[in-house]
């Protein structure tokens, strides 16, 4: 991102915070947008602390495949919601919302600026849509049983969710096992569909929503380049080997994410390295496509049905080809 955009974002945030001292800044983007460096640059300039909105950065030992900020940067700029659970632990959206609300209040009390930054839509929407999240404890025994059924019969869980909560099923891809299973768990425990329990409420505090947009061709080019580099320097493969040695397997939800499952398949001898790279690229491109689709829906929603107490800002990032040409 060029210096002009960085300066504009800095000034926009400072004006917002001056007007709304207890406001919250949210950076929202899709995969391979180049957001990590931007959030750190901005946080340094305005004395902010960053709350990660990435669903996989919560897991310890999973650093390369989740694009975590380095320890050296975190020692300089305080980050939250990173490395808080092990890959075999369950961490619910309700737990997440409770902890993030506490963090925002704590950061405000210390006269810092809280910035929520990431691309996990549920984590962002808990603040933007202020969902009334149901407090339902996870049932690990039943989860194991259901995951076994899913393993034996792919999309079994999604079909079950369609039966009991079709509105919630429409929000998820059948392969999003983690979210589908959680929705089924909530229905089983409460007898009420998650789509009815998790109601959208007015925003809790003033929000500055900054959306970063990068075009498909540029995004996919960045994805391909990063995947090739991770496999070339062997870092992601070594990380997966270490996780397997700690007895974390594909039976754990954390390990079923993109860039982990494909590498585990390679380590297990199911594919060669070229096929592993091909699958990583394909699956990441599909994920990025879903992100762009949802991104467009929210941009349209902000224009057609803007929320009270929310300031929307969209930044279209210059392509890498254009930057190189200039």
210 and 86 in one domain?
A: yes
Indicate the average pLDDT of the chain. Answer: 89
Residue pair 49/112 in contact (Cβ under 8 Å)? The answer is yes
Q: Specify if 275 maps to a domain.
A: yes
**Residue 216 clears pLDDT 90, i.e. is over it:** no
pLDDT given at position 87? 95
pLDDT given at position 324? 45
263 and 124 in one domain?
A: no
Predicted TM-score (pTM) of this structure: 0.85
Residues 94-110 have pLDDT tens digits of 889 999 999 999 999 99
Looking at the chain, which runs of residues are DSSP E strands? 24-28, 48-52, 79-80, 113-118, 207-213, 310-316
pLDDT given at position 266? 97
277 and 245 in one domain?
A: yes
Residues 20-55 have pLDDT tens digits of 999 999 998 777 766 667 888 999 999 999 999 999
pLDDT given at position 34? 62
Question: Residue 144 belongs to a domain with what CATH number?
Answer: 1.10.20.140
155 and 95 in one domain?
A: no
95 and 228 in one domain?
A: no
Q: Specify if 69 maps to a domain.
A: yes
The distance of Cα 282 from the centroid of its chain, to the nearest Å, equals: 19
Q: Specify if 292 maps to a domain.
A: no
Half-sphere CA count of 121, side-chain side, radius 13 A: 17
Residue pair 81/57 in contact (Cβ under 8 Å)? The answer is yes
d(CA 275, CA 173): 24
pLDDT given at position 135? 77
- What φ, ψ does residue 52 adopt, rounded to 5°? -65, 135
pLDDT given at position 322? 43
Tally of residues, the chain: 326
253 and 210 in one domain?
A: no
124 and 106 in one domain?
A: yes
128 and 96 in one domain?
A: yes
Q: Specify if 66 maps to a domain.
A: yes
In which band, very low, low, confident or very high, does the pLDDT at 17 lie, cut at 50, 70 and 90?
very high
pLDDT given at position 325? 41
Q: Tell me 272's DSSP state.
A: -
d(CA 294, CA 44): 30
Residues 179-197 have pLDDT tens digits of 899 899 999 989 989 888 8
Residues 52-66 have pLDDT tens digits of 999 999 999 999 999
Question: Residue 11 belongs to a domain with what CATH number?
Answer: 3.40.50.300
The residue range of the domain holding 226 is 218-285
How many folded domains does the chain comprise? Answer: 3
In which band, very low, low, confident or very high, does the pLDDT at 320 lie, cut at 50, 70 and 90?
low
Q: Specify if 290 maps to a domain.
A: no
Q: Specify if 157 maps to a domain.
A: yes
125 and 150 in one domain?
A: no
pLDDT given at position 137? 78
Residues 262-284 have pLDDT tens digits of 999 999 999 999 999 999 999 99
Write out the H or E segment, with its range, that includes residue 28.
strand 24-28
Q: Tell me 308's DSSP state.
A: T
163 and 57 in one domain?
A: no
Question: Residue 256 belongs to a domain with what CATH number?
Answer: 1.10.287.890
210 and 79 in one domain?
A: yes
Q: Specify if 63 maps to a domain.
A: yes
121 and 87 in one domain?
A: yes
Q: Specify if 293 maps to a domain.
A: no
**Residue 203 clears pLDDT 70, i.e. is over it:** yes
In the structure encoding, which two tokens stand for residue 260, read together?
Answer: 């982990």
**Residue 321 clears pLDDT 50, i.e. is over it:** no
pLDDT given at position 94? 82
Write out the H or E segment, with its range, that includes residue 42.
helix 35-46
In which band, very low, low, confident or very high, does the pLDDT at 313 lie, cut at 50, 70 and 90?
very high
């Amino acid at each position: 991102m060029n210096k002009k955009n960085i300066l504009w974002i800095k000034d926009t945030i400072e004006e917002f915070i001056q007007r709304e001292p207890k406001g919250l800044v949210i950076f929202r983007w899709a995969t391979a947008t180049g957001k990590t460096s931007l959030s750190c640059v901005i946080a340094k300039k305005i004395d902010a602390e960053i709350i990660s909105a990435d669903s996989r950065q919560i897991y310890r030992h999973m650093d390369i495949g989740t694009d975590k900020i380095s320890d050296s940067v975190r020692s300089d700029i305080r980050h939250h919601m990173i490395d808080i659970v092990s890959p075999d632990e369950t961490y619910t959206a309700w737990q997440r919302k409770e902890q993030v609300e506490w963090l925002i209040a704590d950061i405000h009390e210390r006269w810092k600026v809280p910035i929520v930054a990431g691309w996990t839509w549920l984590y962002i929407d808990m603040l933007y849509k202020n969902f009334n999240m149901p407090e339902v404890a996870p049932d690990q025994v039943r989860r194991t049983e259901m995951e076994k059924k899913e393993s034996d019969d792919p999309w079994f869980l999604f079909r079950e969710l369609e039966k009991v909560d079709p509105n919630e099923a429409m929000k998820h891809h059948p392969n999003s096992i983690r979210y589908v299973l959680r929705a089924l768990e909530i229905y089983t425990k409460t007898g009420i569909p998650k789509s009815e329990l998790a109601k959208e409420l007015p925003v809790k505090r003033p929000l500055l929503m900054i959306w970063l947009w990068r075009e498909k061709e540029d995004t996919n080019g960045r994805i391909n380049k990063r995947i090739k580099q991770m496999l070339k320097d062997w870092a992601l493969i070594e990380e997966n080997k270490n996780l397997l040695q700690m007895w974390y397997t594909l039976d754990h939800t954390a390990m079923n994410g993109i860039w982990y499952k494909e590498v585990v398949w390679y380590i297990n001898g199911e594919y060669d390295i070229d096929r592993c790279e091909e699958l990583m690229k394909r699956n990441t491109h599909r994920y990025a496509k879903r992100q762009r689709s949802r991104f467009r829906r929210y941009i349209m929603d902000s224009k057609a049905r803007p929320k009270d107490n929310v300031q929307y800002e969209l930044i279209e990032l210059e392509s890498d080809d254009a930057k190189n040409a200039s």
